[in-house]
Every structure is written in C-alpha cells, then in structure tokens.
Structure 1
C-alpha cells in the first residue's frame, strides 16, 4: 500500500470557475469524473479555457468542478509543482469515446508525451466512469491512481456531488 504524504499538497488556487456546481439535467446516460493536471505555463488559465471549450460541446454537461490543488510533482520530481482539479461530467458517450476526445483536447493544448511523469501543459484522465470497470491496454477504469494520489483525492473530496 502506498503512503500518502500530506506535505505534497501545498495550497488551494482561487478561480472563478473552480469550484462550481449545477443541478443535473438527467438527459445523459453516464457520469464521468475527469482529472485535470498540468505544470507548464499558466495552468489555471488553461483549466479555465478547457472548461469553457467543453461547456460548448453538447455531448457533455458539466455538473461540478472541484477546487484547484497545487501540489508537488511525483515520479519525476525535478519539475515545477502541478495544479490538479476534477470535473464531474454527464454524457451519453462511452468511455472509449471520451478517452479519444480528452486526448484530442490535450493535443489542442499542446500536450507532449516525452517520458513518463514528464512536465505537461494539460493532462486529462478519466478517473471514474459510472461505476464501471475496464482493464485494457488503452484505458483502465477506475484510473490506477484515483484512490492513492492526493492530487486526485483532495479535489474529488472537495466536490459535493460525489
């Protein structure tokens, strides 16, 4: 079992859009919890821009956004601190379709995959998907780090609708 190190969580970042919540519209089949991360450039602004873009996509309804947490990098430690947050989305898309769309958004925001745990502009992970499990080479649900990383646990814990 991995030990959680509270000192890795450094602060909460203020934003107009994080946290926020809206009443469910019950027009979609599934709920997806998406983790946001990044540590290159103005990550807070990038989170806000991503939220704005996904709000424009009729395939998604944003039910809630978490706080933004500033925390130490893990894995490769010689890099800037990360910002992390979570979004609770409602959708009728399947998890594989959401994965493709999240990877497309990462490309829009210039994500580069140079090595494991490398610095990044925007990292989007499907953390949970409507209580479903999946274990394929491309997608593991729930996300392997969802229950063991403070960068995920604290933002999710700040949400009311979870």
Structure 2
C-alpha cells in the first residue's frame, strides 16, 4: 500500500533581485517555482521597484508568490535555494547585491525555528517590499498597522 499523499499547504515566497535583468530573473524564478516538483504557482503579485535596505547597489525588483506545495518547509526551502543557485546567486556577505533572493515568508499556519529556517519570516513585517506585494495577493494576511509602519519606505509598482 502506498503512503497517503501529503496535503497541499499554501506558502508565500518573497522574490527579489538587483543585479542583471532583475525583472526577467523574477519572471524566470516564478516559472521555476511552478516547475519544481511538489510546488505549483497559484498567483504572483505585480513587480515592485524598491531602494536597497541595509544593502547597496541598484534598486531591487520585488514580488511575492503564493504557491501550493506538498513539500515540507525545509524541502521547499531547498527547492528555492536550488532556483537561486541556478540564477547564479552568490552570498559573499550579508545583504550583498544579488541576482536572485527567495525567502519563505509563510508556510500554512506553521511556526518553524531552526538554524536554517524561521517561519514566519522574522523581518517580513518591517519591509514594504514584502508587505505591499503580499497585500496584493493575500490582503487578509497583512495587518494595516504593519503597512502604516513601513509607509516611509519607497516602493513603486511597475507597469
């Protein structure tokens, strides 16, 4: 008898890039997420341009994706890191400019605290580049007070 299929969990992934053709990199990353075994892209926000925070380099292009996944949270993180690596992601130092950054924001209602993964993402409520696109795809998950706290962070929706 085969094991019961894993339930599908709704997860939210933040995408960002500020090197190379960042907008195209994000579009390709969304396709790669949808093509990853055990992951299906349900919807993605618009692309947003933001200035680097605690970082340097050109402006970032950001988005948030809602996915359905049968992977557990650590395996989803591994799939996301494989997509980053395929895009040429390097980690020379903390908050370095990047070709692609994928962060697991939420994984169902789970709370995860391990050396490699913290869910919900610990800084998601401090970043307009996460909250604004998340509010676009899942407004029920974003507290208006959090949006108010980040209103001074410049963010521009791209056409």
**TM bracket, shorter-chain basis:** 0.7 to 0.9
1:42 corresponds to: 21
Q: What is the deviation of 1:144?
A: 1.1
1:129 corresponds to: 107
CA distance in 1, matches of 2:70, 2:16: 24
1:67 corresponds to: 46
2:144 corresponds to: none
Work out which of the residue numbers 127, 150, 154 in structure 1 matches 2:128. 150
Q: Is 1:104 aligned with 2:82?
A: yes
**Tell me, what secondary structure is at the counterpart of 2:53?**
coil
Q: Contact 1:64 / 1:161 at 8 angstroms: preserved in 2?
A: no
Q: TM-score, normalised by structure 1?
A: 0.78
Q: Which runs of 5+ in 1 are unaligned?
A: 1-26
CA distance in 2, matches of 1:156, 1:134: 20
CA distance in 1, matches of 2:35, 2:76: 15
Q: Contact 1:69 / 1:151 at 8 angstroms: preserved in 2?
A: yes
CA distance in 2, matches of 1:134, 1:54: 21
The total of aligned residue pairs comes to: 135
Q: Deviations over 1:13-35 (max 9, x none)?
A: xxxxxxxxxxxxxx942111000
Q: What is the deviation of 1:56?
A: 2.5
Q: What is the deviation of 1:159?
A: 1.3
**Tell me, what secondary structure is at the counterpart of 1:137?**
coil
Q: What is the deviation of 1:58?
A: 4.4
CA distance in 1, matches of 2:71, 2:50: 31
Q: Is 1:87 aligned with 2:47?
A: no
Q: Contact 1:133 / 1:142 at 8 angstroms: preserved in 2?
A: yes
Q: TM-score, normalised by structure 2?
A: 0.80
How large is the RMSD of aligned CA atoms in angstroms?
A: 1.6
